[in-house]
Each structure stands twice: as structure tokens, then as C-alpha cells.
Amino acid sequence: MLNYIKAELYKALHRPYLWVLLAVMLALEELFLWLLVSASFVDMVAVLSPLMTAGNFLVIPLSHLVVSGPYGSGTLKNELSFGLPRSRIYLGKLFTAILLGVALCAVLIAFYLGTGWLLAEEKGGETLLENLSVLAYVVAGSVPLWLGSLGICMALFFLLRSETGAVITLTLALAIGTPLLEIFQGIQVEPFQAAARFLWSILPVTQFGQYTNELTWGLLAKYWAIGLGWLAGASALGVAVFRRRDIR
């Protein structure tokens, strides 16, 4: 497994796709920081916490990068012809995506804070330590939620033969899923309300709004349970179906 992950990392790191994605994200961060150039560094740190939900959208291109056309390129068929177990292929790509995601997250956050520090005229403030503590908490709670979303994305890319279909499905689910659940919760029909409330309570993407409430260890534990639960469940389903999928 370790050798397979190393090979997948090597392939991903040598694809222009990864570096273009990173360059685009860094450019967007730079532009955003220039819009905040008149703000203090304390405010820049505070603004970063609500942006953590954007990580749910970032897992889509990240998953696509690692899966890399399993049904269309013929690469997957070659791997299977060498006798590699399908579970190793699936989990190897999943762990590769996780490692790349963690590294990408670290780079983006470090770049934001470092560049913000250089651009801001007012560096310190009474609430700087407090804002940094809140940011650390939000990141610690967001990581498992991102992993849950990543697990779902990887499963769909393996289960759907159309990569375009997977991208569209995931993007629409993230873009309109939360507003739809809010609408369903307002419909005065108990089955709709009950289903919407249940999905709202367990989906990774709907948890980010709770950062506006009291930040407790219990909330952090809940986020890790939800995120890792979706990661494990989606991966188990993906492996089970992938084992039976006909590769042409």
C-alpha cells in the first residue's frame, strides 16, 4: 500500500493540474487580501474562519486530480492487469487525496496569514491571540468535515463512469443542497421537515454554520464523528461497488 501511495503521489505531483490549482487558489487569496488591505491583521484573521466552508468545493478538483480518469484513460485497467487488489487501488488513491488535501490546506492557510501579515499596516491588537485561537479551533473542526466531503467525492468519481457527471452532481449538491434543506425545513409537512432536519444534522457541508455558536470540545468531537463517519461509510460503499464494477 505504501509503495502504491508513493506512486500516486509522484504522479499527482508531476501533473500540471495540481500546480495550476494551487496557483489559482493562491492568486484568489492574494486578490482577497488586497481587498482587505486597509484592514488590520486581526481582522484578516477573523475573516478567514467563515471561509472554511470553501474547502468543501476544493475537494472536487482534488478528487478528480487523484482519480485521473480511471475508466477513460486505461490506467486503471493496466493496474488491474498487474494483479493489484481493487481495495488497494481505491484506498491508495483515497489516502493520496487526503495527504495532498492536508498539504494544500496547510499551504493556503500559511500563505494567507503570511501575506496578510506583510500587507497589514496594523499588525497586532488586543484580540489577535483570541482570533488566532478561534481560527485554530475552526480549522481543527473543519478538517474532518473536509475529509467527509472528500470521501463522498472519491466514491462518486469511482462509482460514476462519467467524470463530468460526477463533477456536476457534486457541484450542484454543494451549491444548492444547503438552501434546499433550509426550504424543506420550512415546509409544513412533517415528513419533509423530519428528513431535512436529519440530513442537516449529519451532512458535513451543513455543519459550518455552527461555528457562530459557542465553541466547545463537544462540538469539535461531533464534527470529527460526522466527518470520519462519512469518510468511512462512503469509502466502504465505494470499495464494495468498485470490486464488482466491470472495467472495460
Q: Give the pLDDT confidence of 102-134 residue by residue, as tens digits.
A: 999 999 999 999 999 998 888 777 788 988 999
Q: What percent of the chain has pLDDT over 70?
A: 92
pLDDT reported for residue 210: 66
Average pLDDT, the chain: 85
Q: Give the pLDDT confidence of 181-190 residue by residue, as tens digits.
A: 777 777 766 7
Mean pLDDT confidence for 231-240 = 93
In the structure, what pLDDT confidence band is assigned to residue 23 with cuts at 50, 70 and 90?
A: very high
Least-confidence region, from 49-53, 207-211, 226-230: 207-211
pLDDT reported for residue 113: 94
Question: How far from 191 is each of 130, 162, 186, CA to CA, in Å?
Answer: 42, 33, 12
Mean pLDDT confidence for 54-65 = 88
- Give φ, ψ of 15 to 5 degrees: -100, 135
- Model pTM above 0.85: yes
Mean pLDDT confidence for 1-15 = 88
Q: Grid coordinates representing 67?
A: 482519480
In the structure, what pLDDT confidence band is assigned to residue 216 with cuts at 50, 70 and 90?
A: confident
pLDDT reported for residue 170: 82
pLDDT reported for residue 202: 85
Least-confidence region, from 34-48, 152-166, 179-193: 179-193
Q: Give the pLDDT confidence of 188-212 residue by residue, as tens digits.
A: 667 777 887 888 888 888 888 767 6
Mean pLDDT confidence for 81-90 = 81
Least-confidence region, from 25-34, 51-60, 110-119: 51-60
